[in-house]
Homo-oligomer: A and B are copies of this chain.
Amino acid sequence: MSAIYFDVTTRSGRARTGVIHTPHGDIATPAFIPVGTKATVKTLDINDLATLNAPAVLANTYHLYLRPGEKLIEKFGGVGKFMGYGGPTFTDSGGFQVFSLGFGLEHGVGKVSNFFPDEGPVKDNIAKKKKLFNIDQDGVNFVSHLDGSKHRFTPESSIHIQQQIGADIILAFDECTSPLHDKKYTAEAMERTHDWAARSVNAWTNRQTQGLYGIIQGGAYKDLRIKSSEFIAALDTPGIAIGGSLGKSKKDMYDILDWTIPVLPEERPRHLLGIGEIEDLFGASAKGIDTFDCVAPTRNARNGSVFIHPENGGNLKNKFSLNIRAAKYAQDSGPIDPGCACFTCQNHSRAYLRHLFASGELLAMRLTTIHNLHFIFRLMESIRKAIRNEELQLLSAFWRINH
């Protein structure tokens, strides 16, 4: 029996609700998966993840391979046991990280918006070098962002490392292109990704304990995306991810979903890599995406950007958020969001949170991270309920989101 299997429970248009069954529990979909790059969702402990009812955690193979190393994590029984987390886990393949530290920097762009996977040394790298990797048909040589040491990933090594890291859901090794790549290069990269996906499937020998997702590439080119969807869907994997450049605008992203999703089999879960703005969660759920991961809700929290409901001033323009560091909140005795039941909103004022940020207190980042994840998990709950009740358009309209 496969480690991962999926039940669609309700359908409404292309949207659906379902359950992904994993060796470490079920994930009700559509679901937002928080990112725990280095085997921790930044600032949160495992009790927090339980209290928040986090559906799963997605860790990054690139980072864990470099530190503490996949062998250590394997010795501890996998990333879940290593971090003390009992729920479902994902790892990406390392592909996006390697290439975003290369082309992403080179072109100054990330996925849809400017997005880089690692906070620290990126700016220095932009200044110092243009490219941290060299690709060939077999794999990619890259330089560690930590210490400049040289490394190589191939589809086989990525899968082997992911087997050692031991997440429930792992991803095929892919080449991630930038929105600024031309069609010729994007097509070449896509063909390479297909070859690598097939090799990833061959290397994936532990189907009873880990589920592999293939990754669709093809940039913002319709024929490439359709071709890639057909190729990836034809592989024998329990799930499918949509990756790579999702174009230069929200429209590009929705176009890509409109091209790819109708090609994909209904019975397998679909993961949209690296996307998680509130607007996108509505729009992509409506188009049939089942799971999302994105650093934005947690990273933004650490910068003081916290979610607010439309009833309390959230809208598309402010991305349903306010910045708690603003001077205007210095005396504000209310919670971040008056309708929010999270620990932070139940116990702390905007003024206190602003004070913690102004004072450089780490508790600030923890409390805002708790709020943002609570907010987004509750939003996904609302989206699931709306799909079940055939009310997703209504809910979107309430949030003033068109998709």
Contact = CB atoms under 8 A, between A and B. Distances in A.
Interface string A222-262: 00000000000000000000000000000000000000000
Interface string A38-72: 11101111110000000000000001000110001
Interface stretch (A76-84, A173-181, A389-397): A76-84
A76 B42 contact: no
B362 A366 contact: yes
Contact of A348 (B68, B84, B354): B84
Contact of A356 (B40, B354, B356, B362): B40
Nearest to A51: B47
Interface string A360-403: 11110111000000000000000000000000000000000000
A103 B401 CA distance: 60
B355 A38 contact: yes
A9 interface: no
A130 B262 CA distance: 72
A369 to B, nearest CB: 10
A39 B63 CA distance: 35
A82 B39 CA distance: 33
B367 A365 contact: no
Interface residues of A, number: 40
A358 interface: yes
Contact of A351 (B46, B68, B352): B68
Given A44-B363, A347-B84, A362-B43, A68 B38 contact: no
B76 A351 contact: yes
A239 B354 CA distance: 34
A343 interface: yes
A205 interface: no
Nearest to A359: B38
A364 to B, nearest CB: 9
A330 interface: yes
A113 interface: no
A362 B359 contact: no
Given A68-B330, A331-B75, A351-B76, A45 B359 contact: no
A193 interface: no
Contacts of A120: 360
Given A38-B355, A45-B366, A67-B359, 19 more contacts: A38-B359, A38-B361, A39-B355, A40-B356, A42-B362, A43-B362, A44-B363, A45-B343, A68-B330, A68-B351, A72-B355, A76-B351, A82-B351, A82-B352, A82-B355, A83-B352, A362-B365, A362-B366, A366-B366
Interface of A: 38-40, 42-47, 63, 67-68, 72, 75-76, 82-84, 120, 330-331, 333, 343, 347-349, 351-352, 354-356, 358-363, 365-367
